[in-house]
Amino acid sequence: MRHFLTLKDFTKDELLEMIALAQKIKAQTKERKFVPYMEHQTLGMIFEKSSTRTRVSFETGIYQLGGVGLFLSSNDIQLGRGEPMKDTARVISRMVDMVMIRTFEHTKLEEFAHYSQVPVINGLTDSYHPVQLMTDYLTMIECGKHNPTVAYVGDGNNMTHSWLMLAAKLGFELRIATPQGYTCDEQIVQEALTIAQSSGATITFGHDPKEAVKGCDVVTTDTWVSMGQEDEKEQRLKAFDGYIVDEALMSLAKPDAIFLHCLPAYRGYEVSEETFEKHSDVIFSEAENRLHAQKGIMVWLDAHRNED
């Protein structure tokens, strides 16, 4: 059984197969051709955190593939009242064909997958957001950035960890600038650097946004206060002073550099209003690509559901 928990569980070729599927299905969708790749299949969608994009894209995506999505908020199912994850997994996976989960600790997702009889997709954990990075890769290709130098400016969080894995697997250059005390998880960094040795990826870490952005093709960031960190908001806003992506910073990137943001965006904090609006076409194409990239992932997982 193949699950989609992190990008490190796949070869470069497998990730590219999923992207190729996403591109093919996107083209069909744009022609209003809805091919029932997953006819009569049910996708269980468990949410322990809020979501706009992940919920709408998965629910719409499975419907367009000929199946149906079940939105399962932890507030409404017994999981929220203390039923163990492993029991939830053993019940739900006997009834549905695939599961997507958004939760807190990555170990909770791994536990669910361990007990699941069907493929499980990570819809975001505290450690990773891999479906977003497949989306971001699809968006970069569409913008002609096939072998980009990417600068990530901001918090060393689930998005950064997934950027690390994407760069390490695909072999592009990634420069990360985080404030002291908000760097990436050291174990994830070491895993990414090990993978990077075989792909040829160049990954660098620092604390200077200007240094990271200089001459790059893609600039990206994420919220300074992720879901579950609301109590740290005040101290985080102070620590991230100077890390805003604004026009002064973007002027150091290549003139045709694109700006990506997984959304939701907090203007005046991680990105200025001006920079956000200037790049909004690409940002909202990126948001739409959640729908297309995840269809590629679901169809690929369905085709490989009997593999180890």
Q: Which residues bind ligand NVA (CB under 6 A)?
A: 124, 129, 157-159, 222-223, 226-227, 262
Cβ of residue 139: shortest distance to ligand CP, in angstroms? 12
Cβ of residue 156: shortest distance to ligand CP, in angstroms? 17
Residue 223 DSSP label: -
Q: Which is nearer to ligand CP, 213 or 283 (CB)?
A: 283
Task: For residue 235, indicate whether it is catalytic.
Answer: no
If residue 237 lies in a helix (H) or strand (E), which one and from where to where?
Answer: helix 233-239
How far apart (Å, rounded) are the C-alpha atoms in residues 3 and 20?
A: 19
**3-state per-residue secondary structure call for 92-142:** HCCCCCEEEEECCCHHHHHHHHHHCCCCEEECCCCCCCHHHHHHHHHHHHH
Long-range Cβ pairs for the range 286-290 (8 Å, 24+): 286/135, 286/136, 286/139, 286/260, 286/261, 286/262, 287/53, 287/263, 289/22, 289/26, 289/135, 289/136, 289/138, 289/139, 289/142, 290/53, 290/54, 290/57, 290/131, 290/132, 290/135
Set 290, 292, 294, 302: catalytic member: 290
157 binds, among ligand NVA, ligand CP, none (CB under 5 to 8 A by kind): ligand NVA
Cβ of residue 198: shortest distance to ligand CP, in angstroms? 29
Set 222, 261, 279, 302: catalytic member: 222
Q: Interface with ligand CP by CB under 6 A: which residues?
A: 51-54, 124, 132, 262-263
Task: For residue 129, indicate whether it is catalytic.
Answer: yes
223 binds, among ligand CP, ligand NVA, none (CB under 5 to 8 A by kind): ligand NVA
Q: Which is nearer to ligand NVA, 124 or 133 (CB)?
A: 124
Cβ of residue 220: shortest distance to ligand CP, in angstroms? 12
How far apart (Å, rounded) are the C-alpha atoms in residues 163 and 159?
A: 6
158 binds, among ligand NVA, ligand CP, none (CB under 5 to 8 A by kind): ligand NVA
Q: Please give the backbone phi and psi of residue 265, each rounded to the nearest 5 degrees, phi first.
A: -105, 145
Q: Are 89 and 116 in contact (CB under 8 A)?
A: yes
Cβ of residue 73: shortest distance to ligand NVA, in angstroms? 17
Q: Give the CB-nearest residue to ligand NVA.
A: 226
Set 129, 236, 261, 292: catalytic member: 129
Task: For residue 216, indicate whether it is catalytic.
Answer: no
Q: Which is nearer to ligand NVA, 26 or 129 (CB)?
A: 129
Q: Which is nearer to ligand CP, 61 or 201 (CB)?
A: 61
User: Between helices 12-30 and 130-142, what is the axis angle to 10°?
Assistant: 70
Task: For residue 114, indicate whether it is catalytic.
Answer: no
52 binds, among ligand NVA, ligand CP, none (CB under 5 to 8 A by kind): ligand CP
Residue 37: how many CB atoms within 10 A of its CB? 18
Task: For residue 279, indicate whether it is catalytic.
Answer: no
Task: For residue 267, indicate whether it is catalytic.
Answer: no
Q: Which is nearer to ligand CP, 5 or 262 (CB)?
A: 262
Set 262, 279, 294, 302: catalytic member: 262
Q: Are 19 and 10 in contact (CB under 8 A)?
A: no
Residues belonging to the active site: 102, 129, 132, 222, 262, 290
